[in-house]
Amino acid sequence: MTVLLLQTNRLRHKANYFKSNSRLQQLRAAALIAGSTRAFPTKLSVD
């Protein structure tokens, strides 16, 4: 019984890790998009 519980806890932990990981990637992508859109107008205005 205890072994099964440990395995399910491990699986749950892995699932949580992947969820948080994808969330971080989404935040990074959003930051990159925001940075590029912010950079384009300044580049245009400087030119």
Taking the C-alpha atoms of residue 44 and residue 39, their distance in angstroms, rounded to an integer, is: 9
pLDDT for residue 11: 83
Domain of residue 19: give its range: 1-25
d(CA 44, CA 24): 30
DSSP string for 1-47: -HHHHHHHHHHHHHHHHHHHHHHHHHHHHHHHHHHHHHHHHHHHHH-
pLDDT at res. 18: 75
pLDDT in tens, 9-32: 888 888 877 787 888 888 888 888
Measured CA distances, 16 to 6, 13, 19 (Å): 15, 5, 5
> How many folded domains does the chain comprise?
1
Question: Would 18 be classed as within a structural domain?
Answer: yes
Within a domain: 42 = no
pTM of the complete model beyond 0.75: no
Q: Is residue 14 part of a domain?
A: yes
